Amino acid sequence: MIPSYLSLIKSNSRFFLFSVSGVFFSAPGQTFLISLAIPTICTSIDISPLTFAAIYSSSTLSASIFLPLIGKLIDEWPIKKTIQLNTMAFFCSILIFSLTNSILLLFIALFFMRLFGQGALTLTATSLTIKKFTTYRGTALSITQLGYPLSEFIFPGVLLYLLQLVGWRPSFLILSGIILIFYYPLSILGIQHTQPIKKNSKASDSKSLAYALKDIFFPFYVALSSIPPIMMTGALYFQVDIFNHNQWPLTNIALALFCYALFKFINTILIGPIIDRFGVVLPLFFLTASMGLATLLISIHAPPILGIIYYSLYGLGLGASASTMSYLWGLLYGSDCIGEIKGTIAIIRNGATAIAPIGFSSIMHAMNVPLVSIFYYSGIFILMMSLLPFIFYRLDDRLRPPGLNQ
């Protein structure tokens, strides 16, 4: 495993500088970073946390609608032109965010931060990784996806330090500068001497978005891909309620989150070579089963160590998710229109993730269902869904590609 990683990095070091940078520097548009400043922002512009949540959800949902367009541009534009658009749009959105003093300006800033931070930077990196690599694609995707755990390890500490030192507005002003000073030159350096990624020949059998939407298996694969972000969002949103219900010390949340990030990082590294060696079915089963077991464990009243365990299982599932699902979309539909297809899938995933807390809350209060019961039945359902990859392996010939890397 280690030699395959090192040889792939050595032969494609410039490209991975570009792809990892795209994922890593998306952090200012990601929830894990923005959420750290929410209390200060609400106080500064005199809005309630509920109002901020409504603006944040609506801007996220609105931005996701435009991701297929972004994906289509990624498919058709030269890489350098795409990087320039991503840089300027993301830089300007963070700059506007740091200067915002009204609800309208806040919505506009968050709209473009989510569109280009959560969306375009990562979509560009993963789509072009799929286009570039046909062999050892799983390993290549794992290397690209390392940007996620690295950013989760580094950026929160940086922002918390800046928030204490200079306040939230200068902090995000500095973050906007980081996009210009680091993301852009590193990405441009990464694509230098890289051969243009051409569309594959007709023999490659790449499919269009229209074909994907008509594929009878498409809704099931999208449902499987949506489980990790939905359940992780629910677990994070209600983490204090979960710990209080189980009488676990709230101070354990920090340790649990560390274990989540650690196991996510480890499995991000491990999953790529496993996909290349065994195909996508086993990894898809593993990540879904990990999410289901973690969700089920939430409903069990047990010693505090269980909180650490279920967070670790979530980390294992999320670590496998991004590379596995990106590999799956490339396997099913080829690479010519992969940006547009992944952008469309993101509408569904992001939409489901945005409404997950509302859905959980509605079931709790409108239907009077205890939170732990929701996680219990969700866990059982997800564990049942984890068997779908084996069923589809029999029904969908595309999951049995010839010539897996030995």
Tens digits of per-residue pLDDT, 275-309?
999 999 999 999 999 999 999 999 888 899 999 99
Tens digits of per-residue pLDDT, 252-265?
888 888 899 899 99
Mean pLDDT for the stretch of residues 24-29: 95
Q: What is the amino acid identity at position 251?
A: T
pLDDT given at position 204: 54
Give the C-alpha separation, 93 to 235, whole Å.
29
Residue 266: pLDDT over 60:
yes
Rg (CA), the chain: 21
Cα dihedral angle (237, 105, 183, 64), rounded to 10 degrees?
Answer: 60
pLDDT given at position 202: 43
* Orientation of helix 79-99 relative to helix 184-191, angle to 10°: 170
pLDDT given at position 253: 86
pLDDT given at position 294: 95
Give the C-alpha separation, 298 to 244, whole Å.
12
CATH topology of 1-198 equal to that of 202-406?
A: yes
Give the C-alpha separation, 207 to 200, whole Å.
11
Burial class (CB in 10 A: 0-12, 13-18, 19+), 304: middle
Tens digits of per-residue pLDDT, 70-110?
999 999 999 999 999 999 999 999 999 999 999 999 999 99
Mean pLDDT for the stretch of residues 305-321: 94
| pLDDT > 90 in the chain, percent | 69
Give the C-alpha separation, 245 to 374, whole Å.
13
In 3D space, the residue among 146, 117, 136, 140 whose CA is nearest the CA of residue 127 turns out to be 140
User: How is the chain split into domains, by residue range?
Assistant: 1-198, 202-406
Q: Are 386 and 288 in contact (CB under 8 A)?
A: yes
pLDDT given at position 122: 95
pLDDT given at position 200: 53
The size of the chain, in residues, is: 406
Give the C-alpha separation, 232 to 324, whole Å.
17
In 3D space, the residue among 387, 341, 65 whose CA is nearest the CA of residue 207 turns out to be 341
Would you place residue 406 in the very low, low, confident or very high pLDDT band (cuts 50, 70, 90)? very low
Tens digits of per-residue pLDDT, 322-331?
999 999 999 9
Q: Are 22 and 182 in contact (CB under 8 A)?
A: no
Would you place residue 201 in the very low, low, confident or very high pLDDT band (cuts 50, 70, 90)? very low
CATH class of 1-198: mainly alpha
Superfamily of domain 202-406: MFS general substrate transporter like domains (1.20.1250.20)
How much is the mean pLDDT over the chain? 90
Structure tokens belonging to residue 374: 């929701």
Give the C-alpha separation, 281 to 267, whole Å.
16
Residue 141: pLDDT over 50:
yes
Would you place residue 3 in the very low, low, confident or very high pLDDT band (cuts 50, 70, 90)? low
pLDDT given at position 203: 39
